[in-house]
Amino acid sequence: MIMAQVGYSKTVMEHFMNPRNVGVIEDPDGYGQVGNPVCGDLMEIFIKVKDNKIDDIKFRTFGCGSAIAVSSMVTEMAKGKTLDEAMKITRGDVAKELEGLPPQKMHCSNLGADALHSAIKDYWMKIGKIPKEEPKEEERSEGETCPSG
């Protein structure tokens, strides 16, 4: 079986072949984007919040099958949760729900949780719950470049 040879679980393959919550929310309450378009994977997560819960969530991902599966799974995990509950979703939680990822693809689970957290923080900044953040130059990885310079 090809899935076993590549090291993907049935759950990863299911979320890759039939991703949930794909799309864009116009005028989202919160928006998160992570990744690096120069080197590959890029994830965007859009949320609508109602009564402090994630009422709707969509994603748009440019990347490998694992990145798409992770985006699908993290949106499923977060939908209906309070913002505080969704902020507790970890990279490990996403990988566990997907029944594991190959070691070389674990970074994809990082992107999903990070994009979700970024969208929630964006919402919190908009409503004044947390102060607006300035991008930090030191957050870039060694050798990482941005398309804008």
- Tell me which residues are annotated as active site: 39, 108
Beta-sheet pairing, 42-50 with 30-35: antiparallel
Residue count of the chain = 149
CB 40 within 8 A of CB 2: no
Tokens 């994977």 map to which residue?
Answer: 41
Q: What whole-number distance in Å separates Cα of residue 91 and Cα of residue 135?
A: 22
Angstrom distance (rounded) from CA 143 to CA 39: 11
